Amino acid sequence: MSIPKLDYSKLDGLITAVIQDWKSQRVLMVGFMNEDAFAKTLESGKCCFYSRSRNKLWLKGESSGHFLNVKEIRTDCDNDTLLIFAEAVGPGVCHEGFESCFAKKLNAENVFEYVDSKTYNADEVYKH
């Protein structure tokens, strides 16, 4: 399989990947991919990322079962950011128990507050 050329030079070998729900268009999460993560995403059909904190690849859903099945992949005009439309398997993507990692909104007092309800118990899913 040939891998499309992307520009990994701007973020130390990484590109930003914005993940949107393929039906609702809601942004679910933002992650980073290196060339290996992108290749694994193409090969598996599931979103794979590069963890900057753990310095390793991680397949979204490997511990939770909440996989992101790829439906469509787009890139921006500079080929350094991906927009991935995915089908979320499971009740949520966020490791805190929300459908989306973007569950907080800036209020009138300039404080971020949760505006979404949790869709699953993260403590039960991520038994650390």
| Host domain of residue 95 | 15-125
Q: Average pLDDT in the 30-56 region?
A: 97
For 44-65, the three-class secondary structure string (H helix, E strand, C coil) is: HCECEEEECCCCEEEECCCCCC
In terms of Cα–Cα distance, which of 89, 102, 98 is closest to 59? 89
**Does residue 7 lie in a domain region?**
no
* CATH number of the domain residue 32 falls in: 3.10.20.810
The predicted pLDDT at position 114 comes to: 97
Residues 18, 72: Cα–Cα separation, whole Å? 12
Beta-carbon contacts of 123 under 8 Å, excluding residues fewer than 6 positions away, are none
The predicted pLDDT at position 126 comes to: 83
Q: CB–CB of 19/68 below 8 Å?
A: yes
The predicted pLDDT at position 3 comes to: 82
The predicted pLDDT at position 1 comes to: 67
Q: What is the pLDDT of residues 52-71, one digit of tens each?
A: 999 999 999 998 999 999 99
Q: What is the pLDDT of residues 12-25, one digit of tens each?
A: 999 999 999 999 99
Residues 102, 11: Cα–Cα separation, whole Å? 23
**Does residue 71 lie in a domain region?**
yes
Q: CB–CB of 11/31 below 8 Å?
A: no
pLDDT of 91 over the 80 cut: yes
pLDDT of 128 over the 60 cut: no
Q: CB–CB of 97/121 below 8 Å?
A: yes
- Domain count for the chain, please give it: 1
Q: CB–CB of 36/72 below 8 Å?
A: no
Give the model's confidence band at 119: pLDDT under 50 very low, under 70 low, under 90 confident, else very high.
Answer: very high
